[in-house]
């Protein structure tokens, strides 16, 4: 995991994003935000499990499925299984130690 501060993320209105092997964050002080970093580390684990490229393919397909179904891009983002797993467990800083393989499937 390599944490990089990328101020250009402000235009996207996001605090952080995981692009294996990097976690890109908007604000330098977010390097100390354990919840945000844990959320992004969960995504890194998901990406590894799906051999990285399949994660991105599945993420985009699932996102557009929900956009089509819900007609709302933010609600679609919230319904993505990868995001649901990460948001549900971001406060549990030990989650990755006990997380089972392919755990995002229970959020489908």
CB 73 within 8 A of CB 51: no
Q: Where are the alpha helices (DSSP H) in the chain?
A: 34-49, 53-70, 73-79, 81-89, 95-98
pLDDT in tens, 59-96: 999 999 999 999 999 999 999 999 999 999 999 999 99
Residue 10's pLDDT is: 75
40-56 pLDDT, tens digit per residue, is: 999 999 999 999 999 99
Burial (CB count within 10 angstroms: exposed 0-12, middle 13-18, buried 19+), residue 97:
exposed
Q: State the chain's mean pLDDT as an integer.
A: 95
| Across 23-29, average pLDDT | 93
Q: Note the pLDDT of residue 3.
A: 87
Distance (Å, whole) CA 99 – CA 108: 16
The answer to whether residues 8 and 29 touch, using CB atoms and an 8 Å cutoff, is no
């Amino acid at each position: 995991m390599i944490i990089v501060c990328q101020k250009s993320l402000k235009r996207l209105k996001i605090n952080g994003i995981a692009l294996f092997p990097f976690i890109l964050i908007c604000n330098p002080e977010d390097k100390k935000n354990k919840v945000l970093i844990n959320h992004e580390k969960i995504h890194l684990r998901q990406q590894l499990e799906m051999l990285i490229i399949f994660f991105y393919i599945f993420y985009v397909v699932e996102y557009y499925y929900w956009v089509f179904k819900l007609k709302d891009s933010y609600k679609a983002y919230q319904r993505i299984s990868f995001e649901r797993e990460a948001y549900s467990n971001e406060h549990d800083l030990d989650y990755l130690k006990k997380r089972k393989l392919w755990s995002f499937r229970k959020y489908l």
